């Protein structure tokens, strides 16, 4: 079997299609060097370094002091302003000054930002400040900043362009769908092509069982796809690192965020996240999990394509059907609401692996059952079924 796998790998290396697909993968990475390298760790971005913030905060303090002189205020109102709102505004000013001081230690600046956000939350809850952000967003951002402070990790500038973010954000993009289609094309004629031109008979006359022939071909295409994927990402991780920096492997990413359904006037459903849910993992930890998860997605894609290649004798037809099936299924999952309630049973629902691990896939597909564990189970079952059908058909097929 290992000899057959080696032979099949050499065949793949001699095919022009293999190098075209590798070139397409490289081109895909190049086109996403900038578009996908945005910060994903911030839920909201507060511009506390705006030069006008000090003046506006001072004006707020002066307004409160003027209101304390207002004779129309009751003694209780004056007491509330003096004991709550004035100290809060003065605390805001102090923290803004710390943030905008260029000589401030990064960790002190981070602490000041946390305190400043707490001041804003107090004002929002008191009805003294309106904000475009929800309280859930404030809570999530506070947890993020507090995690940085507790673990002595300096806050990175927004947006963050580095290798770790490049990889994490790539898995939220349309590029992952293109990778799936490329691997579907790569594997969809590995058997049908040889059936089409009758070269499969040369293998079958060897003193090796049909099952071993099939398994050898299957292992060869799996190894090719995985190696191409890992090689491409490794190269671009290094390229992006030299261009923009590698980033910090310990930098936190908030994962497994919970989204709750909320009805809106149009009688449709949208999902809003709970700012107190989820937990942090390091960028390195998440990338390792996502790469393994995406490799499993690619293996599943190859397995399904391999099955179609066994079922259909004509290579052109096999490739066409494969691309149509994958493209149509992705469209139904991501472009319509037709299959949203059962999307957890389709492995292509999990191709945006960053969104699966962070929890954003809940709101994208409006299905809270789309979790990594469910995805792994679906993919393993799909692989087993696909290869089982392939082996049964291949061993009984009239060549």
Q: Mean pLDDT throughout 236-243?
A: 86
**CA nearest 222: which of 383, 364, 77?**
383
What pLDDT is stored for residue 364 in this prediction? Answer: 84
* Whether the predicted pLDDT of 8 surpasses 50: yes
Using alpha carbons, list the distances in angstroms from residue 121 to 82, 100, 128, 133, 322: 18, 20, 10, 11, 53
Query: How confident is the model over 175-205, as pLDDT tens digits?
Result: 888 899 999 888 888 777 766 666 665 655 5
φ, ψ of residue 336 to 5 degrees: the values are: -135, 170
Identify the residue with better confidence: 85 or 134: 85
Is the bond preceding residue 159 a cis peptide, omega within 30 degrees? Answer: yes
Model confidence at 17, pLDDT cuts 50, 70, 90, reads: confident
Q: Which long-range contacts (CB under 8 A, 24 or more apart) does 93-102 make?
A: 93/54, 93/57, 93/58, 93/61, 95/119, 96/48, 96/53, 96/54, 96/57, 97/54, 99/48, 99/49, 100/48, 100/49, 100/51, 100/53, 100/54
Q: How many CB atoms lie within 10 A of CB 135?
A: 12
What six digits make up the tokens of 259? 């989204």
Q: Mean pLDDT throughout 326-354?
A: 89
Query: How confident is the model over 269-324, as pLDDT tens digits?
Result: 566 677 788 888 998 999 999 999 999 999 999 999 999 988 888 888 888 998 99
What six digits make up the tokens of 179? 């990778």
How many residues make up the chain in this entry? 399
* Whether the predicted pLDDT of 268 surpasses 60: no
What pLDDT is stored for residue 149 in this prediction? Answer: 92
HSE toward the beta carbon, residue 254, CA cutoff 13 A: 26
What pLDDT is stored for residue 260 in this prediction? Answer: 73
Q: What is the mean pLDDT of the chain?
A: 83
Largest CA distance in the chain: 104
Q: Mean pLDDT throughout 330-346?
A: 87
What pLDDT is stored for residue 265 in this prediction? Answer: 53
* Whether the predicted pLDDT of 266 surpasses 70: no
Query: How confident is the model over 22-78, as pLDDT tens digits?
Result: 888 888 887 776 554 445 555 565 667 777 888 888 888 888 888 777 777 777 877
Which sign, positive or negative, has the C-alpha torsion 104, 110, 113, 118? negative
Most confident of the ranges 1-10, 24-33, 231-240: 231-240
* Nearest-angstrom CA–CA distance, 122 and 91: 12
* Nearest-angstrom CA–CA distance, 315 and 197: 9
Q: Mean pLDDT throughout 118-137?
A: 81
* Whether the predicted pLDDT of 107 surpasses 90: yes
HSE toward the beta carbon, residue 398, CA cutoff 13 A: 0
Q: Mean pLDDT throughout 1-10?
A: 75
Query: How confident is the model over 364-391, as pLDDT tens digits?
Result: 888 888 999 999 999 999 999 999 999 9
Q: Mean pLDDT throughout 253-263?
A: 77
Model confidence at 344, pLDDT cuts 50, 70, 90, reads: very high
Query: What is the 3-class SS of the chain, one letter each residue?
Result: CHHHHHHHHHHHHHCHHHHHHHHHHHHHHHHCCCCCCCCCCCCCCCCCCCCHHHHHHHHHHHHHHHHHCCCCCCHHHHHHHHHHHHHHHHHHHHHHHHHHCCCCCHHHHHHHHHHHHHHHHHHHHCCCCCCCCCHHHHHHHHHHHHHHHHCCCCCCCCCCCCHHHHHHHHCCCCHHHHHHHHHHHHHCCCCHHHHHCCCHHHHHCCCCCHHHHHHHHHHHHHHHHHHHHHHHHHHHHHHHHHHHCCCCCCCEEEECCCEEEEECCCCCEEEEECCCCCEEEEHHHHHHHHHHHHHHHHHHHHHHHHHHHHHCCCHHHHHHHHHHHHHHHHHHHHHCCCCHHHHHHCHHHHCCHHHHHHCCHHHHHCCCCCCHHHHHHHHHHHHHHHHHHHHHHHHHCCC
């Amino acid at each position: 079997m290992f000899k057959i796998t080696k032979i099949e790998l050499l065949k793949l290396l001699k095919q022009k299609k293999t190098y075209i697909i590798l070139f397409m993968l490289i081109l895909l990475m190049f086109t996403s060097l900038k578009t996908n390298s945005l910060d994903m760790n911030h839920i909201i971005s507060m511009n506390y370094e705006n030069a006008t913030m000090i003046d506006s905060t001072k004006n707020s303090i002066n307004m409160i002091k003027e209101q304390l002189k207002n004779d129309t205020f009751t003694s209780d109102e004056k007491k509330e302003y003096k004991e709550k709102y004035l100290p809060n505004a003065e605390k805001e000013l102090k923290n803004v000054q710390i943030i905008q001081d260029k000589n401030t230690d990064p960790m002190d600046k981070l602490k000041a930002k946390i305190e400043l956000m707490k001041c804003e939350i107090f004002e929002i809850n008191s009805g003294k400040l309106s904000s475009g952000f929800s309280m859930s967003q404030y809570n999530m951002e506070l947890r993020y900043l507090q995690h940085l402070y507790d673990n002595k990790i300096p806050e990175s500038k927004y947006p963050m362009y580095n290798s770790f973010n490049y990889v994490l954000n790539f898995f939220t993009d349309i590029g992952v769908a293109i990778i799936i289609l490329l691997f579907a094309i790569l594997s969809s004629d590995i058997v049908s092509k040889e059936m089409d031109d009758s070269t499969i008979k040369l293998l079958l006359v060897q003193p090796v069982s049909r099952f071993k022939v099939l398994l050898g071909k299957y292992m060869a295409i799996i190894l090719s796809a995985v190696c191409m994927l890992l090689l491409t990402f490794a190269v671009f991780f290094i390229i992006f690192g030299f261009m923009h920096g590698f980033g910090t492997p310990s930098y936190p990413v908030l994962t497994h965020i919970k989204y709750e359904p909320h009805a809106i006037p149009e009688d449709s459903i949208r999902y809003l996240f709970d700012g107190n849910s989820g937990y942090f993992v390091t960028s390195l930890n998440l990338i390792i999990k996502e790469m393994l998860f995406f490799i499993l997605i690619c293996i599943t894609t190859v397995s399904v394509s391999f099955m179609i290649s066994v079922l259909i004798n004509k290579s052109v037809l096999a490739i066409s059907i494969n691309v149509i099936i994958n493209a149509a299924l992705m469209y139904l999952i991501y472009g319509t609401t037709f299959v949203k309630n059962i999307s957890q049973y389709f492995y292509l629902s999990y191709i945006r692996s960053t969104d699966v691990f962070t929890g954003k896939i809940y709101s994208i597909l409006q299905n809270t059952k789309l979790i990594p564990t469910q995805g792994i189970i679906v993919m393993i079952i799909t692989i087993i079924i696909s290869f089982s059908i392939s082996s049964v058909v291949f061993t009984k097929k009239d060549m």
